[in-house]
């Protein structure tokens, strides 16, 4: 009977779990699409390439979606049990709430183990592939990566400048200048046009540009001696419309996912990150040590001279500033002021460097610790969800969803807050990675205790009776009119 009950509890849990995970995963992926939309739309990517890129980017979403799904599914499962009086029937049969929660706790433990393996092995690989794929997409599709008003050399063999770029995909151009990069012994060519437009080319190895109202300036001096080049007349060809094809096959032939970016800490697993942390720590110590020595040398430049000087005879005490003449005193104070001001300027310039070093070091530690911390979050969220569900005894998508969202928002806000504090150096990154779990675990343990003791935590009548002596002091007993 117990085994059948375990199977029934697990079966009831997986129904809402699969539905909630699908919905939340879709919502988070849509958010990624919204943020990254400009990076892969209008690039000529196939549907398969877009789908593959989205799969790489969405892998990181699982770290947040899985704990939230466990939280919400646990509340709904035990809420349904309580609303249908199945929880009461199980307890009446002598089965404790701990025994009822045990099979789902095992399921939550398996999910937490899966999340650790997924975060440790799959996500770093997908992060590397996504970053390399985005890099190569940007490299293979230079048409939309121009900056107005600047000379860009993204098209091989040419230097181009556009005064204005407009259009949904940046295809409309104004103030076009194209110069063929060549040495002094090759043919020279420059194109100037009022307007231009990028249009899709039949061959993806070429970039097609249609120009309107412009001139072509050419000097055909290749294979000509110096005297012939002097006699070469200037050639200017006016055009109304000019179609130009630029060969970008060298860029296109760069294979997607060429794995050129390999030095990012997000590409490493838990063990590999230890060496990265040690390396970053040594580099930080060296940099901070050099900065400290530089500051010390600014303040005590004469210390090395004193250490090397052997004193002879009786040591004479240094004169005080009050014993010096007025002019000498002013010179000394002015020199001290300049030295202090220089040290303050040096300290200000180095503070940003120190902050950047500490920020990178904290990000690496947070990334490593969260591989394991998010797995523990799954278990904590299960304790909170199962306890809340058995206490509120409401199923469906009403109150359970509200409770789950509140808990998750608290967790998410704490995550962001401690992350910013760790980056700024106000909190140890190891503590920051585990602080949300450290805060929520006592809350989950307290809720579990309340659920095991059948506490009426959300019973409004209980709180009314508790505050009734206080409210009675401020309310008058109204006697019915008929008894007056």
Mean pLDDT per block of 10 residues along the chain (484 residues) reads: 78 88 88 70 67 84 90 87 82 83 91 93 86 68 63 78 80 86 74 86 75 84 66 76 78 55 74 85 78 66 49 57 70 75 71 76 88 92 88 70 83 89 84 91 88 68 62 59 50
pLDDT at 375: 92
Instruction: Select from 377, 369, 372 the least CA-distant residue to 274.
Output: 369
Q: How many CB atoms lie within 10 A of CB 347?
A: 13
Instruction: Please give the pLDDT value at position 144.
Output: 46
Angle between helical axes of 429-452 and 97-117 (0-180°, round to 10): 160
Give the number of other CB atoms < 10 A from CB of residue 413.
Answer: 11
Find, among 215, 205, 206, 204, the residue nearest to 242 by Cα.
215
Asked whether the beta carbons of 400 and 75 are under 8 A apart, the reply is yes
Residue 470 to residues 458, 459, 466, 477, 478, Cα–Cα distance (Å)? 20, 19, 9, 14, 17
Q: For residue 32, what are the CA distances in angstroms to 28, 41, 393?
A: 6, 13, 35
User: Which pLDDT score, from 0 to 100, does residue 116 have?
Assistant: 93
pLDDT at residue number 108: 92
pLDDT of the residue at 408: 85
pLDDT recorded at residue 301: 53
Q: Which two tokens stand for residue 284?
A: 């930080």
Q: What are phi and psi of 189, to 5 degrees?
A: -150, 135
What's the pTM value of the predicted model, to 2 decimals? 0.65
Q: Give the three-state DSSP class for 243.
A: strand
Helix (H) or strand (E) holding 390: helix 326-392
Nearest to 437 by CA among 484, 391, 369: 369
Report helix, strand or coil for 199.
strand
* Six-digit token string for 115: 């999340």
| Cβ-contact 13, 79 below 8 angstroms | no
String of DSSP letters for 46-100:
-HHHHHHHHHHHHGGGHHHHHHHHHHHHHHHHHHHHHHTTHHHHHHHTT--HHHH
At how many degrees (to 10) do helices 97-117 and 2-40 cross? 30
CA 18 to chain centre: 27
- The pair phi, psi for residue 281, each rounded to 5°, is -65, -40
Residue 272's nearest CA partner among 436, 85, 120 is 120
């Amino acid at each position: 009977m117990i085994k059948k009950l375990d199977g029934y509890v697990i079966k009831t849990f997986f129904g809402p779990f699969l539905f909630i995970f699908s919905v939340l995963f879709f919502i988070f992926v849509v958010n990624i699409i919204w943020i990254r939309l400009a990076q892969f739309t209008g690039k000529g990517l196939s549907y398969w390439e877009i789908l593959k890129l989205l799969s790489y980017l969405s892998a990181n979403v699982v770290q947040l979606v899985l704990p939230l799904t466990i939280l919400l599914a646990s509340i709904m499962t035990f809420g349904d049990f309580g609303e249908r009086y199945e929880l009461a029937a199980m307890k009446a049969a002598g089965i404790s709430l701990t025994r009822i929660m045990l099979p789902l706790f095992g399921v939550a433990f398996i999910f937490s183990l899966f999340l650790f393996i997924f975060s440790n092995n799959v996500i770093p690989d997908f992060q590397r592939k996504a970053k390399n794929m985005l890099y190569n997409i940007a490299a293979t599709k230079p048409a939309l990566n121009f900056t107005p008003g600047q000379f860009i050399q993204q098209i091989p063999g040419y230097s181009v400048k556009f005064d204005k770029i407009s259009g949904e995909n940046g295809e409309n151009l104004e103030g076009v200048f194209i110069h063929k990069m060549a040495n002094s012994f090759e043919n020279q060519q420059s194109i100037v046009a009022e307007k231009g437009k990028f249009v899709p080319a039949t061959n993806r190895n070429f970039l097609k540009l249609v120009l309107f109202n412009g001139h072509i300036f050419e000097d055909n001096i290749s294979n000509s001696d110096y005297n012939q080049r002097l006699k070469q007349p200037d050639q200017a060809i006016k055009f109304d419309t000019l179609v130009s094809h630029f060969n970008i096959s060298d860029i296109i032939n760069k294979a997607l996912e060429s794995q050129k970016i390999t030095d990012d800490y997000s590409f490493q697993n838990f063990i590999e990150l230890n060496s990265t942390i040690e390396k970053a720590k040594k580099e930080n110590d060296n940099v901070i040590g050099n900065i400290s020595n530089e500051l010390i040398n600014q303040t005590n430049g004469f210390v090395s001279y004193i250490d090397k000087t052997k004193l002879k005879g009786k040591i004479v005490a240094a004169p005080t500033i009050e014993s010096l003449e007025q002019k000498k005193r002013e010179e000394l104070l002015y020199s001290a002021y300049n030295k202090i001001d220089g040290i303050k300027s040096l300290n200000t310039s180095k503070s940003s460097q120190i902050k950047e070093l500490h920020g990178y070091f904290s990000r690496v530690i947070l990334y490593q610790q969260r591989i394991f911390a998010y797995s523990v979050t799954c278990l904590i969220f299960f304790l909170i969800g199962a306890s809340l569900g058995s206490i509120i005894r409401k199923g469906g998508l009403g109150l359970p969803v509200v409770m789950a969202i509140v808990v998750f928002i608290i967790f998410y806000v704490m995550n962001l807050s401690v992350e910013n504090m760790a980056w700024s150096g106000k909190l140890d990154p190891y503590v920051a990675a585990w602080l949300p779990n450290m805060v929520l675990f006592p809350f989950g343990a307290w809720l579990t205790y309340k659920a095991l003791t059948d506490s009426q935590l959300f019973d409004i009548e209980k709180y009314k009776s508790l505050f009734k002596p206080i409210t009675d002091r401020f309310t008058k007993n109204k006697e019915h009119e008929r008894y007056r």
